[in-house]
């Protein structure tokens, strides 16, 4: 029977030691290759400490005789203190609590206690006591605790209770994690009470209380670590999916812009034809309106693909929210109440006021559709500081200062499947003909263009809450008040214009229009051909209209080589990827002007006139 007891008493600690070691390796893997959070290190240290305690327990059951038992007992006491310290550090790190001051006190105090434990008999004495157990053939000899032994265990026990108390106070912020702790805490109390009834010593009972407590703590750690990892992996997959969708949407929009450019040019030329029958004029006006709607759709697709850069000006977010709230009060149904909860003293942002207003309007429109019977729309702002130790709200968030913009409604809410797809382009739950499915995807693209992140929290029947985190950067000076521009000289034909585009229809349309203006037009379908044509007609060429996206030599490389051949070459870059960042990049490469496709022919006239007068 004694042999069976020794074997059984060793199996449990060995299982705990193996589990603790594996969990430590798992936490290190999460820290270095996945989450990178400080609480992963604390959890790894905690599980490693539990494994060390379990190994010490195995030696205690098998080698706990004489002086060896004193060393093993001190090891067990030391492991308990390490577990207490790691539990406190993990809890503070995971919950983003200010624990730096605590560590300034706790680290030297715990080191001093460990020194007392190992080098004095105050915690574990040098005296032994023999205990009789029915399942052992001979008395079990173990060292007696020193005068500080009871206080040592009491400190550890109270510290564990304090850890659970902290989680209880944070139960509203971390409901799922607290559920894990509630279950394991209840199991711990049941086991501890049972152990208290069968043990013969209060010291042993306190020690076993600690064993059960930390083992249950490890079980809780495993539970919500897997939950947090799953949540982060899901967010990362969503971010990667939106990145891929954005690239696809930007590419589609670019190709669509080329098609619209041909239609736009031909429609304008037809409308300007004096021989056009009067009865066709309304039809052409309808075509022009449809083309304008198509241009707006493409702009929204480019926003989804983050191909439209945010304008870098100083933005007062509270001011923008008040402006949009005034618009919404006049446009939303009266049964929808608007509540503003704006934090005073928000730092200025660097961004595009128009795009941020578009974000609010799109989210408000989505909330209106979710509250057909009325409800409450809440617009709120707040300051937020994210540290490296904080659990990330989004995989793309980095430590720094943020401004939180929250739009919440009390509408129908969304189920998990809908919430995962809500930012996908062309995904909508509305009836056919009542939505394009680009509202939230446009919001996502604008937030990404501002280097921010957005997430959604919703449940059926509980409304939806969109949280937008915008980084606080060194905001530029306020945008200057635009002054009336000097009148652009009327365009005058004459000279050679080189049109470089891989689309024959675009080249032909522009060539016909420019010929009507009096220019001689040369065409090139690639960057390589453009360099040859320009070299042969360098002295006569007045300007080059250059497309950016072409097979073979792209527009950027062609622009660089043109400037090398002729530093005075005047190049007007035309691209389906419109945006301030692209225009600025082209200017740095030496372009004389930039025009976004699809452009109207009148816009092209003004751009060419600006080139001729040096105003581009």
Strands 541-547 and 496-500: parallel
Q: Per the domain annotation, does 485 fall within a domain?
A: no
Model pLDDT, residue 20:
80
Model pLDDT, residue 457:
86
pLDDT > 70? residue 102: no
Model pLDDT, residue 616:
41
- Considering the domain architecture, whether residues 34 and 13 belong to the same structural domain is answered as yes
For the stretch 360-393, pLDDT in tens is: 988 988 888 889 888 999 999 998 877 544 445 5
Structure tokens belonging to residue 616: 């581009």
Higher pLDDT, 302 or 414: 414
Q: Which residues of 309-324 are buried (b: 16+ CB within 10 A; e: fewer)?
A: bbbbbebbbbebbeeb
- Considering the domain architecture, whether residues 399 and 511 belong to the same structural domain is answered as no
pLDDT band at 351 (very low <50, low <70, confident <90, very high): confident
Report the pLDDT averaged over residues 198-205.
45
Higher pLDDT, 93 or 299: 93
Contact indicator for 382, 393 with CB cutoff of 8 Å: no
Of 471, 487, 509, the position where a domain reaches its end is 471
Model pLDDT, residue 466:
92
Model pLDDT, residue 4:
47
Q: Per the domain annotation, does 476 fall within a domain?
A: no
pLDDT band at 145 (very low <50, low <70, confident <90, very high): confident
- Considering the domain architecture, whether residues 425 and 368 belong to the same structural domain is answered as yes
Report the pLDDT averaged over residues 519-531.
89
Q: Is 470 left (phi over 0), alpha (psi -120 to 50) or beta?
A: beta
Q: Per the domain annotation, does 109 fall within a domain?
A: yes
Q: What percent of the chain has pLDDT over 90?
A: 6
- Considering the domain architecture, whether residues 590 and 457 belong to the same structural domain is answered as no
Among 229-233, 383-387, 589-593, whose mean pLDDT is lowest?
229-233
Q: How many CA within 13 A on the CB side of residue 282?
A: 1
pLDDT > 50? residue 469: yes
Most confident of 36-40, 199-203, 391-395, 611-615: 36-40
For the stretch 538-575, pLDDT in tens is: 888 889 999 888 888 888 888 888 888 888 888 998 88
* Cα–Cα distance, 493 to 343 (Å, whole number): 57
- Considering the domain architecture, whether residues 183 and 298 belong to the same structural domain is answered as no
- Considering the domain architecture, whether residues 442 and 543 belong to the same structural domain is answered as no
* Cα–Cα distance, 442 to 405 (Å, whole number): 16
Using alpha carbons, select from 305, 380, 284 the residue that is nearest to residue 338.
380
- Strands (DSSP E) found in 328-444: 336-341, 349-351, 375-386, 400-409
Model pLDDT, residue 609:
80
Q: Where are the alpha helices (DSSP H) in 95-174?
A: 100-119, 149-169
DSSP for 283-321 reads: HHHHHHHHHHHHHHHHHHHHHHTT-SPPP-EEE-HHHHH
* Cα–Cα distance, 446 to 204 (Å, whole number): 62
Q: Per the domain annotation, does 445 fall within a domain?
A: yes
Higher pLDDT, 13 or 249: 13
pLDDT > 80? residue 24: yes
Q: Where are the alpha helices (DSSP H) in 170-200?
A: 175-198
Q: Per the domain annotation, does 191 fall within a domain?
A: yes
**Residue 596 has what DSSP assignment?**
E
Report the pLDDT averaged over residues 111-116.
91
Q: Please, which residues have CB within 8 angstroms of residue 498's CB and are 6 or more apart in sequence?
A: 521, 522, 523, 524, 530, 533, 534, 537, 541, 543, 544, 545
Burial of 223 (0-12, 13-18, 19+ CB in 10 A): middle
Distance of CA 390 to the CA centre of its chain: 14
Report the pLDDT averaged over residues 117-142.
70
List of long-range contacts for 454-460, beta carbons under 8 Å, 24+ apart: 454/423, 455/235, 455/393, 455/394, 456/414, 456/419, 456/422, 456/423, 458/413, 458/414, 458/419, 459/413, 459/414, 459/415, 460/412, 460/413, 460/414, 460/415
Report the pLDDT averaged over residues 15-23.
81
For the stretch 270-306, pLDDT in tens is: 777 777 777 777 777 887 777 777 776 666 666 655 5
- Considering the domain architecture, whether residues 216 and 359 belong to the same structural domain is answered as no
Mapped onto helix, strand or coil, the DSSP state of residue 49 is helix
Q: Is 306 left (phi over 0), alpha (psi -120 to 50) or beta?
A: left
- Considering the domain architecture, whether residues 388 and 528 belong to the same structural domain is answered as no
For residue 87, CA distances in Å to 22, 160, 166, 167, 183 come to: 18, 8, 11, 11, 18
Model pLDDT, residue 225:
66
pLDDT > 90? residue 328: no
- Considering the domain architecture, whether residues 527 and 591 belong to the same structural domain is answered as yes
Higher pLDDT, 200 or 193: 193
Contact indicator for 496, 517 with CB cutoff of 8 Å: no
pLDDT band at 513 (very low <50, low <70, confident <90, very high): confident
Higher pLDDT, 112 or 242: 112
What are the residues facing 401 on neighbouring strands?
385
- Considering the domain architecture, whether residues 106 and 220 belong to the same structural domain is answered as yes
CATH code, 16: 1.20.1070.10
- Considering the domain architecture, whether residues 195 and 253 belong to the same structural domain is answered as no
Q: Phi, psi at residue 186, to the nearest 5°?
A: -65, -45
Q: How many CA within 13 A on the CB side of residue 522?
A: 22
CATH code, 608: 3.40.50.2300
pLDDT > 60? residue 483: no
Q: Per the domain annotation, does 443 fall within a domain?
A: yes
Of 304, 323, 344, the position where a domain reaches its end is 304
Q: Per the domain annotation, does 513 fall within a domain?
A: yes
* Cα–Cα distance, 208 to 433 (Å, whole number): 67
Report the pLDDT averaged over residues 60-85.
78
Higher pLDDT, 449 or 411: 411
Q: Per the domain annotation, does 481 fall within a domain?
A: no
Higher pLDDT, 498 or 62: 498
Mapped onto helix, strand or coil, the DSSP state of residue 314 is strand
CB atoms within 10 A of CB 107: 12
Model pLDDT, residue 369:
86
CATH code, 376: 3.30.565.10
Higher pLDDT, 390 or 499: 499
Model pLDDT, residue 200:
41
Model pLDDT, residue 579:
59
* Cα–Cα distance, 445 to 449 (Å, whole number): 6
pLDDT band at 51 (very low <50, low <70, confident <90, very high): confident
For residue 271, CA distances in Å to 266, 276, 277, 283 come to: 9, 7, 10, 10
* Cα–Cα distance, 559 to 188 (Å, whole number): 72
Q: Phi, psi at residue 538, to the nearest 5°?
A: -60, -45
Report the pLDDT averaged over residues 410-432.
77
Report the pLDDT averaged over residues 297-316.
64
Residue range of the domain that includes 39: 2-238
pLDDT > 90? residue 160: no
- Considering the domain architecture, whether residues 19 and 148 belong to the same structural domain is answered as yes
* Cα–Cα distance, 393 to 235 (Å, whole number): 9
Q: Phi, psi at residue 348, to the nearest 5°?
A: -70, 150
Q: How many domains does the chain have?
A: 4
* Cα–Cα distance, 361 to 321 (Å, whole number): 10
Of 304, 331, 346, the position where a domain reaches its end is 304
Higher pLDDT, 295 or 404: 404
CA angle 421, 426, 428 (to 5 degrees): 60
Model pLDDT, residue 407:
93
pLDDT band at 238 (very low <50, low <70, confident <90, very high): low
Report the pLDDT averaged over residues 24-46.
81
């Amino acid at each position: 029977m004694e042999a069976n007891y020794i074997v059984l008493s060793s199996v449990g600690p060995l299982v705990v030691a193996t589990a603790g070691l594996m969990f430590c390796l798992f936490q290190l893997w999460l820290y270095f290759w996945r989450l990178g959070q400080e609480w992963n290190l604390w959890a790894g240290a905690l599980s490693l400490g539990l494994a060390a305690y379990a190994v010490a327990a195995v030696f205690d059951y098998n080698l706990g005789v004489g002086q060896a038992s004193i060393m093993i007992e001190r090891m067990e006491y030391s492991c308990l203190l390490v577990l207490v310290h790691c539990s406190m550090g993990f809890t503070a790190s995971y919950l983003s609590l200010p624990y730096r001051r605590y560590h300034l006190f706790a680290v030297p105090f715990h080191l001093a206690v460990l020194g007392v434990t190992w080098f004095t008999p105050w915690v574990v004495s040098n005296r032994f006591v023999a205990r009789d157990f029915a399942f052992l053939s001979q008395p079990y000899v173990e060292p007696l605790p020193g005068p500080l032994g009871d206080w040592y265990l009491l400190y550890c026990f109270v510290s564990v209770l304090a850890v659970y108390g902290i989680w209880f106070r944070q139960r509203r912020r971390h409901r799922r994690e607290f559920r894990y702790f509630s279950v394991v805490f209840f199991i711990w109390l049941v086991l501890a009470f049972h152990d208290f009834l069968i043990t013969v010593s209060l010291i042993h009972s306190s020690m076993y209380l600690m064993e059960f407590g930390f083992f249950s703590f490890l079980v809780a750690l495993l539970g919500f670590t897997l939950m947090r990892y799953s949540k982060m992996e899901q967010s990362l997959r969503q971010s990667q999916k939106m990145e891929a969708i954005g690239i696809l949407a930007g590419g589609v929009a670019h190709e669509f812009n080329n098609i619209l450019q041909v239609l736009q040019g031909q429609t304008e030329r037809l409308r300007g034809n004096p021989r056009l029958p009067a009865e066709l004029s309304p039809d052409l006006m309808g075509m022009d309106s449809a083309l304008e709607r198509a241009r707006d759709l493409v702009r929204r697709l480019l926003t989804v693909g983050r191909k439209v850069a945010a304008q870098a000006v100083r933005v007062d977010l509270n001011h923008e929210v008040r402006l949009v709230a005034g618009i919404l009060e006049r446009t939303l149904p009266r049964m929808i109440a608007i509540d503003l909860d704006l934090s005073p003293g928000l730092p200025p942002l660097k961004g595009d006021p128009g795009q941020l207003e578009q974000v609010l309007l799109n989210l408000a429109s989505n909330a209106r559709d979710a509250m057909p019977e009325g409800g409450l729309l809440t617009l709120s702002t707040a300051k937020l500081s994210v540290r490296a130790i904080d659990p990330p709200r989004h995989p793309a968030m980095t430590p720094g200062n943020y401004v939180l913009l929250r739009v919440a409604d009390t509408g129908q809410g969304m189920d998990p499947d809908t919430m995962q797809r809500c930012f996908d382009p062309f995904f909508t739950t509305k009836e056919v003909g009542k939505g394009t499915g680009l509202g939230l995807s446009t919001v996502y693209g604008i937030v990404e263009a501002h280097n921010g992140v957005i997430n959604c929290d919703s449940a059926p029947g509980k409304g939806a809450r969109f949280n937008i985190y915008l980084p606080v950067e060194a905001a530029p000076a306020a945008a200057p008040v635009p002054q009336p521009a000097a009148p652009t000289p009327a365009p005058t034909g004459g000279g050679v214009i080189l049109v470089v585009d891989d689309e024959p229809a675009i080249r032909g349309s522009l060539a016909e229009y420019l010929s009507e203006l009096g220019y001689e037009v040369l065409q090139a379908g690639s960057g390589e051909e453009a360099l040859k044509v320009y070299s042969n007609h360098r002295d006569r060429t007045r300007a080059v209209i250059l497309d950016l996206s072409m097979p073979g030599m792209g527009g950027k490389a062609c622009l660089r080589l043109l400037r090398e051949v002729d530093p005075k070459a005047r190049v007007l870059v035309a691209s389906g990827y419109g945006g301030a960042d692209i225009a600025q990049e082209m200017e740095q490469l030496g372009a004389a002007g930039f025009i976004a496709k699809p452009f109207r022919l009148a816009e092209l006239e003004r751009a060419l006139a600006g080139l001729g007068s040096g105003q581009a």
